Structure 1
Amino acid sequence: MLKTFRAWLKGSRLEWIDDVPTLGEQLIPVHVTLLENESVLDKKARGQRMAEILEKIAVSQSMTDINPVIWQQETRQDRSLPGR
C-alpha cells in the first residue's frame, strides 16, 4: 500500500509536515509533483468565461421583474442619525 507524506520544499531540502517516514540515512528516490500557480492565461480565460455567463444572464432577461428601487429599499437598512 502506498503512503503519502506531506512536506515543504525549501531550496534543496524537504521538511515534513505531518507524518515522518522512518527511512534512516539511506538515499531514497522520490517523485515530487509541483502544482503550478494559476497562470495569467488561466485568469484571462476564466474572466472571459465569466463575461460569457453574465452576457447569457443579461440576454435571458431573468431579472426583468425586479424593480431596483424597491429592491434597494427592502435591502437597505437605514438607521436614524444621532442628533437629528
Structure 2
Amino acid sequence: MASCEARWVGDRERAQALISAIEADDPEMFNAELTEMDDGQVELVVRVESSNIPSLQATMDDLLACLAVAEASLEVIHD
C-alpha cells in the first residue's frame, strides 16, 4: 500500500472551492479534511492511498493539476 498527502493553508472559502474543484473529478480517489488553525485560517489535507506507487503518482498528479488550475482561477477572480 502506498499513500501520500498534500497540505494547503488559507481561508475557508478558498479551501472549500479547492475541494469542489477536485471532488468533481473522482471523489472516491482521495480523502479531504479541513482543520481550523489558531490564526483563523484552515488547513486542507488531501490524502491518497493506492495499491502501488505508479498509480499513487498518477492520482496525485491529477489532483495537484486540478488544484493548481483552481487556485490560479481563484487568483484571477479575486484580483
More helix by share: 2
Higher relative contact order (CA 8 A, sep 6+): 2
**Given the two structures, how large is their TM-score scaled by the length of structure 1?**
0.28
TM superposition score normalised by structure 2 = 0.30
- Which structure has greater strand proportion? 2
Q: Which has the larger radius of gyration?
A: 1
